[in-house]
A and B are shown apart, each in its own frame.
Chain A
């Protein structure tokens, strides 16, 4: 109801954090023999390949061009020869056109990637262009092209930039480690973002379960003369969801169906900020990212810096491999992550974690009848009635589901987490959303 908690959001849950890798320094994954780089690693139009079989490529060289405004190019993440341009398994399930590169055993970088002088003096447009050409898409997992968020229409002035260092998903620690190990890069990236947006307030939101990161970022920000606000936020899932974070930081509600810019806000992930620094200050594209590899099914949990396109099995090899009893492989965190059926797909720009659960944790639970316990209603951070919506969806009543605001669901999974009847609420709601979208499309 929001009556009692003004600087947080209402609803939410407290799953066990299980952030076992939070003290583990980021390790570099060796250059793999082969990478598979899909042309679609972001939300929006797929990029178009510009290399052919047999071409030799350098690290950081573009291998595809943006397919529109809401699109970003992909880049070679290792140097070598293009082995194929063909459909390959993709984390999202359906095969996607991908560029397969075989390593030449060396690590030759594109010579144009060099530190840029006076990058802060650059024109806003040039900065945004560099960000798009570096292929940067939101690294928190949603992979929305970053340059689009930085180009709001003129009638939507941005006054607040919020850096998302919440990392509220259990298990994941990649953002946490980036903040601890590359605070300067993160802050310089924020400086660039602030410059582009021309905003008056810059806030870095970090959950209070990462006091070391809060302290370090605060200290560095002061030392660098930037003096950004660093806010230690309530530990509550989904504190890192865009709308909930904006509410916690500014007290403002993004209107239903609206975007953060409607309340003058832009939210960027801290990892994205670091990538923005690379892009603008070094012209270095997004060719690698930090991935938390963790869970009971993995031999040695770690945070590793992985080249985009590296296969899961190559990543696991670096972590001692997966255990016999591995039951589920999840791309991302356990609350919103995507279950993978096999190890065929590669690490992409949005891969914040690879979570391997053991068989016991992966077991399907018996679904029983809804007893209207109201837990799903109580925890829904969007003020929805999940059990009612799920009931409509089950009976193909998509119009009613829409009336009950099914489209506002952010799929955070809090409802299904607490359901004592073990109903697959998110599954049903996602299906309902897709059906409502279909009907909207049909209606033109």
Chain B
């Protein structure tokens, strides 16, 4: 019989990437930060991570079954959502919280839209927002999760608040000096100067906060891997962090314009985690060159707005969620120029 061949449209060769390879690499790149969390906060951190992941995977499996869709848990994206959700709560939350958060993230944040690729917002951040709105005390108090070899605030004063909380309170006092007694003012002043000197603690992670956002260096190791593999680009993280640095330098000070501590703002809170691992979420960020730049800038503006004038000490997660919603519009506004054509 005449030999028959496979037929398909071109191209006939491909690179070796796949969605699951990307997802598992992102998961792996987050492992150093996870190890850091367990080192600083103890085994409880590991439980929170495992519960977050397990709930996410089980939820996705069950929902696929319910909706009679092909099973997708092996693509690694549910693990990633569970992991990121766990990184977004503190070590002192009750153990049911990562479970509830992961369930919400997967069920409402992802599966109801049709699963991976169709969710408009980052599921893990949506889960975090749900927890924050439902159990605000658990999500905003970090006093008992004391990092090994340090304090929650990273300084010797106001030890039970996170660095950003200390900053928020101190700024409040310094900017409205006439409303406070002198000793409060001096205390706030001291706290501010101590914070400025505590950058090293932020860098290595000797501070309190959510599991995944304490150590800048461990996160940056993971981010470097992803950038080397080209799973994340420079556009979103750099424009995001650059905007935060610029705006916090200009407006973040207490002695007028251009006196803010940009480095402190960049290293503290969830900015590194958010900028490299969550704002870059492929599904929910723009695909065009300028779309990604504007997306990063938008995240930066909202983050600084919330940190400096909003009600919360930290604004990374809301800023990304809000910009997620802008993604389709940004893509439409920033369509690339067609080769040899006028701007579309």
Contact = CB atoms under 8 A, between A and B. Distances in A.
Nearest to B117: A369
A335 interface: yes
Contacts of B286: 374
Nearest to A252: B340
A417 B7 contact: no
Contact of B10 (A322, A339, A369, A383): A339
B4 interface: yes
Interface stretch (B14-22, B135-143, B214-222, B264-272): B14-22
Nearest to A340: B5
A44 B195 CA distance: 75
A281 to B, nearest CB: 36
B67 to A, nearest CB: 14
A343 B3 CA distance: 7
A420 B231 CA distance: 11
B5 A328 contact: yes
A385 B14 contact: no
A373 B284 CA distance: 9
B166 to A, nearest CB: 38
Nearest to A244: B339
Contacts of B115: 369
Contacts of B331: 385, 388
Contacts of B75: 368
B11 interface: yes
A184 B343 CA distance: 44
Contacts of A327: 5-6
B337 interface: yes
A420 B344 CA distance: 27
B288 interface: yes
Contacts of B224: none
Given A371-B19, A417-B11, A426-B10, A377 B340 contact: no
In the complex, which of the residues B5, B286, B288 has the most CB atoms of chain A within 10 Å of its own CB atom? B5
A143 interface: no
A382 B338 contact: yes
Q: How large is the interface on B (under 10, 10 to 19, 20 to 34, 35 or more residues)?
A: 35 or more
Nearest to B77: A371
Contacts of B8: 328, 339, 364, 424, 427
Given A417-B11, A418-B15, A362 B6 contact: yes
Interface in B319-344: 331, 335-341, 344
Interface in A370-391: 370-375, 377, 380-385, 387-388
Nearest to B230: A375
A65 interface: no
Nearest to A337: B10
Interface in A258-276: 258
- Of B9, B21, B344, chain A has the most CB atoms within 10 Å of the CB of B9
A338 B9 CA distance: 7
Interface in B288-344: 288-289, 292, 331, 335-341, 344
Contact of A405 (B12, B117, B282, B341): B341
B338 A339 contact: no
A174 to B, nearest CB: 18
Interface string A400-428: 00001100100101001111111010110
A14 B17 CA distance: 14
A340 B3 CA distance: 11
Given A327-B5, A340-B7, A377-B287, A369 B340 contact: no
A13 B11 CA distance: 13
B10 A342 contact: no
A218 interface: no
Contacts of B339: 9, 243, 247, 253-254, 256, 381-383, 408
B17 A420 contact: yes
A365 B337 CA distance: 32
B7 A15 contact: no
Contacts of B114: 369
Contacts of B7: 328, 339-341
Contacts of A253: 339-340
A419 B287 CA distance: 13
B117 A370 contact: yes
Interface in B152-209: none
Contacts of B3: 322, 326, 342-343
Contacts of A83: none
Contacts of B340: 243, 253-256, 258
B9 A334 contact: no
Contact of B19 (A362, A368, A417): A368
A373 B22 contact: yes
A430 interface: yes
Of A329, A338, A371, the most chain B CB neighbours within 10 A belong to A371
A336 interface: yes
A26 interface: no
B117 A371 contact: yes
A131 to B, nearest CB: 28
Interface of A: 1, 9, 13, 15-16, 170, 243, 247, 253-258, 322, 326-330, 334-344, 355, 357, 361-362, 364-365, 368-375, 377, 380-385, 387-388, 404-405, 408, 411, 413, 416-422, 424, 426-427, 430
Given A339-B8, A413-B10, A413-B11, 9 more contacts: A254-B339, A340-B7, A341-B5, A361-B12, A369-B114, A374-B287, A381-B339, A416-B11, A420-B19
29 contacts: A326-B3, A328-B7, A329-B5, A334-B13, A335-B10, A335-B11, A341-B4, A342-B4, A342-B5, A344-B2, A365-B14, A368-B75, A368-B117, A369-B115, A369-B116, A371-B116, A372-B284, A374-B288, A374-B292, A380-B336, A381-B339, A388-B331, A405-B341, A408-B338, A418-B14, A420-B21, A421-B19, A426-B9, A426-B11
Q: Which 5 A-B pairs have the closest CB atoms?
A: A413-B11, A369-B117, A256-B341, A427-B9, A374-B287
